[in-house]
Structure 1
């Protein structure tokens, strides 16, 4: 192969430095434009992008505005329809059924129990017994038939156990008989003492009977807290006797604190000693003020007059006729001599 060397002037792609470029030769004389810098190119690109976004928003603005107007028109139509439509009738209110309140059985039972305890601790042991019940339960002997407590007055006669009846009216004042003249009564219930019916100082009952509240402080509903005497519980209608010879100072048939009561003054060991017998039945006081009495003489019948929670004898001993002492201890020390 043969190589032919061309000169620069003969090469068609050779451009002489002194010859003008094709672009320059194509330009119109006098319109020479300098090339853009990089910053200018970036600014131009940004302007073109912004123009494109504005054009896009302009294209979508019209549909959005149309949608908003259409929505407002629909809302107005709905409001107008609601105004013309009749008001809805409210549905009837249904009240839910509630279960019936439970009866507080437990509370009532507890209250009943408390009431029973109060009654049991406040009432004497035999306070709810009638005269017939007392005689049927506690008497094994009988009274002499046909004997009156007072002539022209009520009779206190029993032909058999449990057959005794007690009339509460019609007492006269003629002749008084002692309890030992009436009959000896033998009791079978538990007794708080033993009485010597031949002694000059005796207990207020011919035989032993249950003893209730004692002298001094006691926790009692409906009665005195500071108890000034001794309570004996022989049963309603039981005969009460004088503890010693003496003179009747007071006889009151009323409804004061002591109810129907009798006070007898005695001279024992040279000093004045007064005995008080309270809460007896109305109309059963067997003595009058100023009457002399003998030990064991009938004074009246057990009742529940005055401030009393049930049939019992409230018995007091007052030294010098005034000062109250423990009557149970006094009888323990002096009865039987």
Structure 2
């Protein structure tokens, strides 16, 4: 009943007690108009709606930009790297002169040395064919030297000393010379014998009857023994002279050698099928055998 009897003036007192109790002033509905309270609520709601957007934009913006840049860079690399690898610079056309220059042999020298022209004989062979050819030539030269040494050795062991006063060049003059400086007599002819035998001592010098070229020179002439054959051109006629039964190792010329009229070519002996030491001489004129002594008598000076 007391409450009902309280007057309206007791209400402010109650508000003061409430403020003192809670430590904050009590807010009366009469202090703020309804329009102000509504505007404040709207502003708070708008502030709450704007706050997340501002925070979200400030945090995610740089990350999104970095991701975008990385994706673009990866796409560019994916397209550009294979294209660069497949690209090649356009080669210039090569001329025949450039190809020849590339395949030519060159010599690299120091900068302070002047250029020089190389000669073929100034450097050694490099290809397999040239090396094989060079080895074959060296082997042939060595074999020829060995043969020459053997011949010289045989000559020193087998040759007889030429008697004193016997010339090493045939006496006389003219384009035809006699093959011996002298002889004792002719050998007795017999059936089937071809040629003329000049009986003379072993070791007597034998000369070429005329200028000519040696076509055969051998120690193995069969029944003729050590033999030399020479071809001559005498007054336009082909003359062949054959010297047989010579002393082993006494030959002074080989096949292919050029000789002069009266040049010593060997020494007398009895090699092959021979009876006594003598020179067996055969002469063929234009392919026909003639009497050697009769031909010498008619042509020798």
Q: Same fold (TM over 0.5)?
A: no
TM-score by length of 1: 0.40
When the two structures are superposed, what TM-score results if normalisation uses the length of structure 2? 0.45
Larger radius of gyration: 2
More helix by share: 2
